[in-house]
Amino acid sequence: MNIEWDADKYTKDFSFVHQYGNGVAELIDCEKGSSLIDLGCGNGVLTKALQEKGFRVTGMDSSRELLETARRNYPDISFIQADAADFSVEETVDAVFSNAVFHWIDREKQTDMLACVYKALKRKGQFVFEFGGHGNNALIHSALGEVFSEHGYEYKIPFYFPTIGEYAVLVEQAGFQVRYAVLFDRFTELKGSDGLKEWIHMFVKTPFATVDEMEEEEIICQAVERLRSVLYRECRWYADYVRIRMKAVKG
């Protein structure tokens, strides 16, 4: 899925994305000095955190806008623009890490992405990642689907949210040994009084491709109001995240 990112707003208002990634990184148990690719590195904040843990890091992302921010803020780190489902490296690495990325990759390209990761890793290399799992933001997408239908449009969830069983099979079919896998709910606070509205603007883009700007705003506001009773608590907006977290090793 190719979208254009507002890199400054993403960095300022959606810092929870990389903050939660610090917990995922705890699954990496390579020695200090090990080589690591941060796949889908975005603005590079997590890449820098991984460097500070002692890894020799390279950030990789398809977004020009986010990479510009990463290179500006962390000039001592190498950042490469590449498609997660179509990349190669000159030298294999000890670990590949990814946070909040794989649900952006279409189902039919998942096997290509996993094959690229497998080739990029050394034998016994570690593959550690987290992304949206089955049921992720189900309340939000359901409300958007209802409002889209009322406006005469079909709403298709623009993400891949597999079950843990489905994805573990894909990872093993790619040649990995799954060592750790969990699916869990993570109710996530959003920033600001319009947190949910801004979240939809930032992350749900492709369903609005054929909707004009005025009607898009109307649809979003209607969906937000329907969600107020379940996702607005004590003057704060939340998103109903569900995540898959895995660690696998190349055989």
CATH number at residue 99: 3.40.50.150
pTM beyond 0.75: the answer is yes
203 found inside a domain: no
Q: How many domains does the chain have?
A: 1
Taking only the tens place, the pLDDT of each residue in 199-251 is 999 999 999 999 999 999 999 999 999 999 999 999 999 999 999 999 999 98
14 found inside a domain: yes
Residue whose C-alpha is closest to residue 120's, from 80, 144, 93: 93
In this model, does residue 1 exceed pLDDT 70? no
Percentage with pLDDT > 90 across the chain? 90
Q: Which residue matches tokens 């500070």?
A: 52
85 phi and psi angles, rounded to 5 deg: -95, 5
Taking only the tens place, the pLDDT of each residue in 151-171 is 999 999 999 999 999 999 999
Q: Distances from the Cα of 251 to the Cαs of 127, 132, 166, 211, 244, in angstroms? A: 11, 26, 20, 47, 22
Taking only the tens place, the pLDDT of each residue in 129-158 is 999 999 999 999 999 999 999 999 999 999
Structural domain of 246 = 7-137+159-190+240-250
- Range 189-193 average pLDDT: 93
In this model, does residue 17 exceed pLDDT 80? no
**In this structure, how many other beta carbons lie within 10 angstroms of the beta carbon of residue 245?**
21
246 found inside a domain: yes
Q: Which residue matches tokens 């020009």?
A: 64
Amino acid 251: pLDDT: 85
99 found inside a domain: yes
Taking only the tens place, the pLDDT of each residue in 48-70 is 999 999 999 999 999 999 999 99
171 found inside a domain: yes
